[in-house]
Structure 1
Amino acid sequence: MRTWRESLHDAWLTGASASLLSTAALGICGRIEQGTAVGPNNGPSQWLWGEQAAFERRATLQHTAAGYAIHHLMSTFWAALHERLFGGVAATGSVPQTLAAGALTSALACFVDYRLTPRRLRPGFEKQLSRTALFFVYAAFAAGLVLPQLVRRLRV
């Protein structure tokens, strides 16, 4: 297991990757299901502005910027945990083990987001997306967690 210092160092890139890929998935799924690419990205802004913010379909500084900032910070949190628990697997294990670690972290994030977290502090994506779309969003999140790790393997 890696140290927290190593994990936090790598979590910035891993978190950014996970955030960007899952945000892209939110946009694609939102466009397909709701006709708006930014609507689902506004979901996390309900932390600041109440539940009605999760239903906002337009791009606004208040909702979209806040929603993305919260999503990015939480992605970095999960990336730090992922790097701490599975960073060693990525460095020394097989590619399938690395992919499984990303899937496990993403599944844990989904479980915590929707089963353990109070309704007001949930991501809010579920207000505009189906469960199928959420599956693709969390799959993109998993891909974002492992992408920097796989690139690091190629450089070593």
Structure 2
Amino acid sequence: MGLTTRFLVNTAQRALKDGLLAAALSGTSMAARSKADSGSAVAGVNAPAHWVHGEESIRREDVSAKHTLVGAAVHTASAMLWAGLYEALQARRERRTVAGALVDAAGVAALAAVVDLKLVPERLTPGFQHRMSRESLWMVYGSFALGLALGGLQRREEAPTVRDLRE
């Protein structure tokens, strides 16, 4: 396996791990804030399933495979996608630092919020914004950023950077 291929595979593996951690933290925050705001912890988790099942998913307040599992899967896949951007930003740094991890994670989370809540058509929004307050959305995207940063800081000395491609 060539250096470039190893670099890309390593970056993709890190993005998957970062995305899983970010999805877990933001999903936990989403459930807690959904419970506080709408009375149902799974209402926010169900909502992303509206990509597949329409508006019914946004209104659902009970656990179901159709809405809860699909909603969690959509949320996790989205987190992994954004984690790919995060890892690409981290790989561009000469050195991975705590400050760099936090800045990149906050930037990706902010971009995700703008794209999710302002730029995409309603059908492609996360849906959970209909079940939570504005303050709760800040907490969800903040916990998403924290998950990215924590994931990115794990084994940071072993993580690839563009410098590795030049050597």
Which residue of structure 2 aligns with residue 55 of structure 1? 59
1:155 CA displacement: 7.4
Runs of 4+ aligned residues of structure 1 deviating over 4 Å after TM superposition are: none
C-alpha distance 55-95 of structure 1, shift in aligned 2 (>3 A): same
Q: TM-score, normalised by structure 1?
A: 0.91
| Helix, strand or coil at the partner of 1:92 | coil
Aligned to 2:114: 111
Match for residue 123 of structure 2 among 116, 120, 124: 120
Q: Unaligned regions of 5+ residues in structure 2, if any? A: 160-167
Q: Deviations over 1:13-67 (max 9, x none)?
A: 0010010000000011012112211110011100011122112111111000000
Partner in structure 1 of residue 17 of structure 2: 13
How many angstroms apart in 2 are the aligned matches of 1:61 and 1:99?
A: 35
- CA RMSD in angstroms, aligned pairs only: 1.9
Whichever of the two has the greater Rg, that structure is: 2
Which residue of the partner structure matches residue 69 of structure 1?
73
1: distance between equivalents of 2:96 and 2:83?
18
TM-score by length of 2: 0.85
Aligned-pair CA distance for 1:154:
7.2
Q: Percent identity?
A: 33
* Cα pair 1:102 1:146 within 8 Å, conserved: yes
Task: Report the alpha carbon displacement of residue 152 of structure 1 after superposing the two structures with TM.
Answer: 1.5
